[in-house]
Structure 1
C-alpha cells in the first residue's frame, strides 16, 4: 500500500462519514508536505484541522490523534540513536522538537504554527551558527562532500514539491477554507525552501573550508542558486559593445531591491544600450526576476486603450479567458441536459480563487487611475489604440508597465512628451514604487524627486552615488577637485625627483642618490590626468534685427475639418525680444498653436500676420521625421544646404556638440540626443529671427540642456518654448502662457507658481 493510500485510510477511519473528495484533498495536502514540515505535528494540524472541523463535528482529541498518525506516516520516525548523533544538519524549531499536546491541537493551532515558522525564518542566522558550532566540536572527520550532496538532493526534492499543483476534484468542500489552507501551505513551503537554501550555502562554505579543492565547484553552484532567490541585481566585471565600439569595460553594476536609480551620462555613451541589454538578460540575471523595459510605443489596433493596459497583466488576462471558456462549456452542457464534470467545476473554482487573490476586479479602476494621471481623458481611454498618436502610444506603454508592477522597471526618458501635471503625477506615483527602478532622465527635478541613487556612466565605466541628482553633483565636483589636488601633488613630487636626478646624476658624489631617486621614480604608478568630459556648447547665430511686431493674431479661430474648434479668438503678438513658455495639459492644442505661428496651419477664422522678412526656425518634438536616417549628418546637411565645403558642415555640427567621426556615421546609428543635435544644426543653419521649440529637451543629456539654455539666453531673436523642463523654462522665459479651454491666457506669476498650482490641483483631484 502506498503512502497516499495509507494516509487516506487513516483519514477515512477517523471520520467514516467524511466525503471522499474531502478525504482525497486532505490526503494530497499532507502527502504534498516535505518531510521536515510533516514531522512537525503542529504543521499538519494547521493545514488540515480547519477542514476537518468544518466538514465534520470533530473533537480536538480525534483531530489531534489523526494529525499525530499522519505526521508519523509522512514525516517518518527518526532512526534509533539519531538524537545522540554528533552532527545536526538542519536544526528544527522548538515546536518540531516537542510533541504536540492534545490541548494545543485543532483550529486554534494555526496562528501559533505561523508564528513558529516566522521565528524559524527570523533566526536562520543562529541556525547557521549552530551548524558551524557543531562542526567545531567534531571528534572524528566527516565527509563534507557527502553531506553537501545529501543536502542538495533534499533541496531538489523540496523544489519539486513546490512546483506541483494539487488538483481538487469536488466543489462540496468549503472553498474559502480550501483556498486559505492552500495559500498557507504554499507560503510555508516557499519560506522553508529559502531557509533550506541558506542552510545549504552555510554547509557549502564549511565544506569549502575543510577541502577547498573538492568543494569549490559545489559551493559556487549553490552560491549561484542562493543568489537566484534574491531580487537584487549584481553584475561584476562586464563589457558592453555597440557596433564594435566599447561602451563599458570591466564595469560593475549593483541594483539593490527597492531602491530607485537614475542613470545619467552624455548622449552617445550607451545608456539606452545598457538598458536594452538588461531587458534582454544578457548578464545572466535570475530568470525569476520580472523585468519590464519601457522603450517602444504600443502597436495601434482596435483594442481600447484601457483594455490594452489591462491585457498587459498576462496572468489576469489568461485567467479571464479561461473563465470565459469554462463558463461557456458549462452553459453548453446544461443546455444539453448533461451533468457538468467535477473536474471542470473545480477548475472554474480555482480560476475564481486566483482572480480573487490577484484582485482582478480592482484592476479596471487602477488602470483608469494610471491613465488619468498620464492625462488620458475618458474618451481616449475608450478609444482604439490605433487612433492615438505616437506620443500617446508611448504613454500607453508606460501605463502598461506601471500596471504590471515588475520587480525591475527600466525607464528610458519617461517624462518625454508629458505635460507638467502628468510629470508631477508620475513623480508622486514612483515615490511609492515598492520594487526597483532604473531610469534614464535629463530632468533634474524628476531625478531629485524620484531617485534614491545616481549611477554616472562615463569613460566606459559606471560610478554609483547615494542620494538624488543634486547630492551627486556636489559629490562628483568634490571628487574631481580631490583628484585634481592629488594629481598636482603627484606631479610636483615627480618633478622634484626628476630635478634631483637631472642635477646630480653626473656628479660622482651624488650618483648613488640619483640612482636611488631613479628607482623610486620608476616604481611610482602611472600618472593619469583627470578625466574631464568636454564642455557642451550651443550657439544660435544672431539674425539681422527686424523692427516692430513679428507675429500678430486677431480673433483667430481654428478647427480641424468638421471637428470642434481647438481655439476661439486668439489674440496676441510676438516681438523680437519675446521669451514665452507655453504650458498646459496635453491635448489642449500647444503644438497646434506653434504650427499656427509658423504658418504650417492657417486660421479657420480671423487674421494672422507675420513680418514679410521673418524667418522662423521650428524644432518639432518629432524632429526625427525630418531627418533622412540613411545618410550621415554631413550628407544630410549637404542635401538641405548644398554648395558649401565639407568642413563647413562639420563646423556647424561641431557648434552643437557633434565632433569627431560622429558626423560621418549614418544618422540611424546615432542616439536620440545626437539626432537632436543634427536637428538643431539644421535649425541654426536657417539663421532664424525667431525660434519655435516644441519639447526640445527630449533625449538631451543634462549638460546639453544647460548648454541649450545658455544658447537661448545668448540669442538675440525671439523664442516661444513648449517644455515640461522646469529649469529650462525658469532660466530662459519671462512670460508664461497657459493653453486651456480653447484659449490662450497669460499666467501672472513664475513657472514655479504655475507648477505649485498644478500640484495643488493634482492633490485635490486624487483626494
Structure 2
C-alpha cells in the first residue's frame, strides 16, 4: 500500500535516519513514535509529500485516497463548520456544489437537466444523501454541538478548530489516514470516542501520538524512529517497549560474549604465536577473531528525565476545602457552587469536557482567581506548588533557565540548581539558555524543575503532559504515583489518570460527580449506569 525505499534524511553532518525500507500494509494501524527531535515529524511530512528526503522515495498504490490531518487554523475561516467537514471528501463536495448551483437556477436547459441526472447518480453513489448526517455525527462525537455547525470557522477557538479539521479528515473515509497528534485538545471522553471510531475504520493509519493509552488501544504496529534508523514492530506500544528492550539487551549480551571470546583468543595468540608447535593453532584462532562480529550499538535519541518529588514537611489530614464556590465570566457561569474537601494522600483527577471549568477550578483553589462567592481554605500544613497550563504567563521571556529557577529559592546553591536542571535534561551549557527560545517540552520540564526545587507536599498540575514526549510522560507518571503527598491534576492523558488518580472529580453541566476510586472503576460504574 505504501512503500518506503532507501530513504535517508540528513541536515549537513547530522543524520536523522538512513537506509529506511518499510512497507505499510492495508488495514494496519501504525503508531509513529520517537523522542522529540528524532525525526518522526519529518518522516510524516515525507509521507504526506510536504518534505523531500535526501535520498530514497515513497510510493503509494495508485487509486488510494489519502487523508491528512492538517493543522492550518485559518484556511477555512470563511466557511461554516459543517461545510468545512464536507470538504473532507473533495469529489463529493464538488458534486454538491454543482448540484446546488443547478437547482438554484430559475429554470434549466435540457442539457442542464441531463447534467443534474448525472450528478444525482454520482451523489447517491458517494452516499451524498447521508453526508450531512454523518458530518454532524462526527462533529458531535468530537464535542461540537449541533448549534455550532452553522457557525463560521473564524468564530471557533483554536482547540475546536482542530476538532473540526479532525472531523474533516475522518469524513472523507480515506483509504490511508495520516494523523499527527490527533488527541491534542481533546478531553478524555472525546479521546475514547475517537479510539472507537478509529478501531471501526477499515483504512490504513499512520499516527503520531504521545498518548500511551491511545497507542495501546488503537495501534497494531509501532514504527520507531531511533538510533538514526526507523524500525517496525508488531503489536501495540507496550509490546514495543518489551520487544525493543529485550532486543537491545540481547544485542548487548551477544557483544559482551563476543568481546570475551575475542579476549580469550587474543590471549592464546599472544602466548603461543612464537611457539612453533602451537603456531598453527595460534593462526587458526587469529582467523576466528577476524570472523567474530561486534555489532554497532548506536546511542538512543531517547532520554528520560529523572523526576522524584519530595516534601519539605509532612502533610496533615486537611489539604484544601471549597465551600459553595462560584465563578462567572460575564454571563457565563463556570463554577456553580463547588463544595469539596481534599484530604492528605488523595490524588485527585479533575476531568470534564473542554470549557467546563477545570482550569478555572484549579486557578480558584490556588488563589489565582477570586471566587465570586464562597470560600477556599487550605490546611495549615499544606504547601502547594502549581504547574500552570499557560507557560507563557508563568515564565517570562527576559531571563535564563538558571536564573528563573533560582528566583524561587535565592538561597539555593549553584550545585542544587544545576542538579535539578540536569535531571530535567538541561545540559551543562543549556542552563544559561534564554527562556525566550525554549521549546514546549523544555518549558514543561523547567516547570517540573520548579516543583522539584520547592518541595511542596501538594502538587497541583494543569495539563502537565502537553508537549512532553512519551519518556517524560512515563517518568512523570511514575513520580506522581510514588509521591507521598497529595496531587490535584487536570490531564487528557488517559494513562496518567489511570495510573495516578485514586479520586475522580468530573465537572458536568449538572454539577460535580465526586468518585473515590480509580478512573477505570469510575468508567465501569458510569458505563453501567448509562446502560440502564
Q: TM-score range by the shorter chain?
A: 0.7 to 0.9
Alignment-derived partner of residue 83 in structure 2: 307
Residue 552 of structure 1 aligns with which residue?
A: 321
Quick one: distance in 2 between partners of 1:285 and 1:669? Answer: 37
In the other structure, the counterpart of 2:40 is 271
Cα distance between partner residues in 2 of 1:658 and 1:436 = 38
What secondary structure is seen at the aligned counterpart in 2 of 1:538? coil
The CA distance in 1 between the partners of 2:70 and 2:306, in whole Å, is: 28
Q: Deviations over 1:334-372 (max 9, x none)?
A: 5xxxxx544333333333332222222211111111112
2:73 is matched with which residue?
298
- Displacement after TM superposition at 1:304 (Å): 3.8
Which residue of 1 is the match for residue 96 of structure 2?
320
Match of 1:76 in 2: none
CA shift, 1:606, in A, is 1.2
Distance in 2 (CA, whole Å) between partners of 1:360 and 1:410 is: 24
Q: Is the 8 A contact 1:554 1:607 kept in 2?
A: yes
Cα pair 1:583 1:736 within 8 Å, conserved: yes
The structure with the largest alpha-carbon Rg is 1
- Tell me how far apart the structure 2 counterparts of residues 632 and 234 of structure 1 sit (CA, whole Å): 45
Question: Is residue 690 from structure 1 mapped to residue 465 from structure 2 by the alignment?
Answer: no
The alpha carbon displacement at 1:403 in A equals 0.9
Q: Is the 8 A contact 1:267 1:671 kept in 2?
A: no
User: 2:10 and 2:401 mapped to 1: Cα distance?
Assistant: 23
* Structure 2 match to 1:522: 290
Q: Contact 1:539 / 1:655 at 8 angstroms: preserved in 2? A: no
**C-alpha distance in structure 2 between counterparts of 1:256 and 1:762, whole Å:** 38
**Alpha-carbon distance in 1 for matches of 2:19, 2:429:** 25
Cross-structure match for 1:602: 370
| C-alpha distance in 1 between matches for 2:273 and 2:398 | 62
- The match for 2:4 among 235, 240, 249 is 235
**CA distance, structure 1, for counterparts of residue 315 and residue 188 of structure 2:** 34
Across the two proteins, how many residue pairs are aligned to each other? 524
CA deviation string 1:700-721 (max 9, x = no partner): 3333222112222343442112
Q: Distance in 2 between matches of 1:544 and 1:284?
A: 58
Conservation of the 8 A alpha-carbon contact between 1:730 and 1:751: yes
SS at match of 1:510: helix
- Deviation at residue 255 of structure 1 after TM alignment: 0.9
Consecutive unaligned residues in structure 2, runs of 5 or more: none
Distance 2:24 2:435 in 1: 33
Query: Distance between the aligned counterparts of 1:297 and 1:619, measured in 2?
Result: 28
Matches within 5 A, 1:349-360: 349-360=117-128
Asked if structure 1 preserves the Cα contact closer than 8 Å seen for 2:2 and 2:58, the reply is no
Cα offset, 1:508, TM superposition: 4.4
The structural deviation recorded for 1:382 is: 4.1
TM-score, structure 2 normalization: 0.86
Query: 1:553-608 CA distances to partner (integer Å, 9 max, x unpaired)?
Result: 11112221222x22322112334533111223333322221121122222121112
2:33–2:208 Cα contact (<8 Å) kept: yes
Which of 455-464 and 547-556 deviates more?
A: 547-556
Match for residue 417 of structure 1 among 180, 185, 188: 185
1:654 matched residue in structure 2:
422
Shift of 1:262: 1.0
Closer/same/farther in 2, CA of residues 688 and 411 from structure 1, 3 Å limit: farther
Structure 1 or 2: more strand by fraction:
2
Matched-pair contact (CA < 8 Å) for 2:273–2:282: yes
Cα offset for 1:647? Answer: 7.1
1:503 equivalent in alignment to 2:278: no
Give the distance between the partners of 2:156 and 2:311, measured in 1 at CA. 39
Superimposed CA distance per residue, residues 80-126 of structure 1 (whole angstroms, 9 cap, x where no aligned partner): xxxxxxxxxxxxxxxxxxxxxxxxxxxxxxxxxxxxxxxxxxxxxxx
1:234 Cα deviation from its structure 2 partner: 0.9
Aligned equivalent of 1:285: 59
- Aligned residues of 2:255 and 2:294 also touching (Cα < 8 A): no
Normalising by structure 1, report the TM-score: 0.61
Counterparts of 2:326 and 2:427, CA distance in 1: 45
CA contact (8 A) 1:420 1:724 kept: yes
- Offset of residue 295 of structure 1: 5.0
Structure number with higher helix proportion: 1
- The residue that corresponds to 1:539 in the other structure is 308
Match of 1:723 among 470, 475, 491: 491
Task: Note the alpha carbon deviations across 1:410-434, whole angstroms, 9 max, x for none.
Answer: 2223223322321221111101212
SS of the equivalent of 2:308 reads: coil
Q: Say what the alpha-carbon RMSD is for the aligned residues.
A: 3.5
The one of the two structures with greater contact order (alpha-carbon pairs below 8 A, sep at least 6) is: 2
Per-residue deviation, 1:302: 5.8
Q: Is the 8 A contact 1:425 1:762 kept in 2?
A: no
Please say if residues 487 and 530 of structure 1, whose CA atoms lie closer than 8 Å, have aligned partners that are also in contact.
no
Distance 1:438 1:702 in 2: 17
The one-character-per-residue Cα deviations of 1:175-194 (angstroms, maximum 9, x if unpaired) are: xxxxxxxxxxxxxxxxxxxx
Q: Which runs of no fewer than 5 residues in structure 1 stay unpaired?
A: 1-231, 335-339
The aligned residue for residue 227 of structure 2 is: 459
* Pick aligned residue for 1:713 from 481, 488, 491: 481
Contact map agreement 2:4 2:22 (CA 8 A) in 1: yes
Work out whether residues 292 and 409 of structure 1, in 8 Å CA contact, stay in contact via their aligned partners in 2. yes
1:591 aligns with 2:359: yes
1:407-462: CA deviations, max 9, x gaps? 32122232233223212211111012121100122333322221111112211111
Query: C-alpha separation between the residues in 2 aligned to 1:244 and 1:633?
Result: 28
SS at match of 2:318: coil
Question: Per the alignment, do residues 320 and 731 of structure 1 end up closer, same or farther by CA in structure 2, a change over 3 Å counting?
Answer: closer
The answer for the alignment partner of 1:112 in structure 2 is none
